[in-house]
Homo-oligomer: A and B are copies of this chain.
Amino acid sequence: MSVPQLLHYTLDPTSRLVRLMCAEYGKDIELVHLKAWRREQDFLDVNPAGEVPVLHVDDQLTLVGASAVIYFIEEQFGAEPLLLPKEPVLRAETRRLTDWALGKFSDDVSRYIVEEKFIKNDRPGGTPDTTVLRAARANLSEHLAYFNYVLATRPWLAGGEMTLADFALAAQISTLDYLSEMPWDSVAEVKAWYQRLKSRPAFRPLLLDRVVGMPASANYADLDF
């Protein structure tokens, strides 16, 4: 069987989730870097939504969009303990919080920060809009306060076990951390939880990522920040 190809860009949080899942399940994938935001026609022909991740599994199967990619990996490459647990309460809670990370958190926080601090950098004369950044940071504080509260009551986001929800949020946070946007001092529970995740072997490749001309935050790869 051929190695699947992942179209991604380094700081795309959802692509990072895909990479984390594959690493956790020991599934090799080939990374193909794509400046998806340029919306070039070749890529729009593959995904009219113009977004990564896209996973070319083989000649017969190309997966487009976050859910298609993530749940394919879970179903086809997953091994015990599964990231999407079978027990109904934990499964529902995993879905609720995975959706939150991929949807609400992304829509309120990370897509603005990625757009202003990373994507605009690729455009001649592009400079971050400080009003947008300020709003995204205010939203970030609210989201983190909620997750900090959840993690004060449970070891992992969805309950007693590490699940897809942990990976989904950690992928988002890893991008923000790269861009020096994580207010670690004000969210002790989130910090302790992220330290545990960061120490997993699956996380290592992400911590080695670097973007040309855009250094990572000082503690980005530090396991004991």
Q: Interface on A for B, CB 8 Å cutoff?
A: 48-49, 60-68, 71-72, 88-89, 91-93, 95-96, 98-100, 103-104, 107, 146
Of B61, B72, B107, B146, which one neighbours A48 at CB under 8 angstroms?
A: B146
Q: Judging by beta carbons under 8 Å apart, are A61 and B88 in contact? A: yes
Of B61, B92, B100, which one neighbours A63 at CB under 8 angstroms?
A: B92
Stoichiometry, as copies per complex, reads 2
Residues of B within 8 A of A67 (CB): 95-96, 98-99
Residues of B within 8 A of A68 (CB): 92-93, 95-96, 99
Of B60, B66, B92, B103, which one neighbours A89 at CB under 8 angstroms?
A: B60
| C-alpha spacing A218/B66, complex, angstroms | 38
Q: Judging by beta carbons under 8 Å apart, are A107 and B107 in contact? A: yes
| C-alpha spacing A60/B89, complex, angstroms | 8
Q: Judging by beta carbons under 8 Å apart, are B92 and A61 in contact? A: yes
Name the residue in A60, A66, A92, A93 with the highest tally of chain B Cβ atoms < 10 Å from its Cβ.
A92
- Closest CB-CB distance, A168 to chain B, in whole Å? 11
**What are 11 A-B pairs with beta-carbon distances under 8 A?**
A49-B100, A49-B104, A61-B92, A64-B96, A65-B99, A66-B99, A67-B95, A68-B96, A68-B99, A72-B91, A72-B92
